[in-house]
Amino acid sequence: DVKVTQSSRYLVKRTGEKVFLECVQDMDHENMFWYRQDPGLGLRLIYFSYDVKMKEKGDIPEGYSVSREKKERFSLILESASTNQTSMYLCASSLYRVDIQYFGAGTRLSVL
């Protein structure tokens, strides 16, 4: 079974803090994704990576950056957290670029 693990289920941060959300997959998948989930908006793609050190912007990249130094790990970075970044963040991975995506359990981030 594919396992996608997000390091934290819940996080509470202060406005202006630098926040790291970590995601690890154990299936040697090439592609990894970060989504944001908000009520009434569904899931929206923030960034994705199709290889180590490669990244592409999704639909809502503003205020976020990503890092992929190793194949199995994909980090989402909020350089200076703001209250409008309070949300559920979901990481996913897939073997091929157009393929089934497997999701982690999510990190619920609150920015106060």
Partner 1 sequence: AQKVTQAQTEISVVEKEDVTLDCVYETRDTTYYLFWYKQPPSGELVFLIRRNSFDEQNEISGRYSWNFQKSTSSFNFTITASQVVDSAVYFCALSLWPYDEKLTFGTGTRLTIIP
Total number of residues shown for the chain: 112
Of 56 and 79, nearer to partner 1 (C-beta) is 56
Q: Copy the structure tokens of residue 112.
A: 């106060």
Give 66's contacts (C-beta < 8 A, 6+ positions apart).
Answer: 34, 46, 47, 49, 55, 74, 75, 76, 77
With binding defined as CB under 8 A, does residue 61 bind partner 1? no
Of 14 and 105, nearer to partner 1 (C-beta) is 105
* Piece in contact with partner 1 (CB under 8 A), picked from 15-23, 35-43, 65-73, 78-86: 35-43
Determine the size of the site formed for partner 1 (CB under 8 A).
28
Q: Copy the structure tokens of residue 55.
A: 């990244």
Residue 2: phi, psi to the nearest 5? -70, 135
Of 58 and 63, nearer to partner 1 (C-beta) is 58
Q: Which residues bind partner 1 (CB under 8 A)?
A: 9, 31, 33, 40-45, 48, 50, 58-59, 88, 90, 92, 94, 97-106, 108
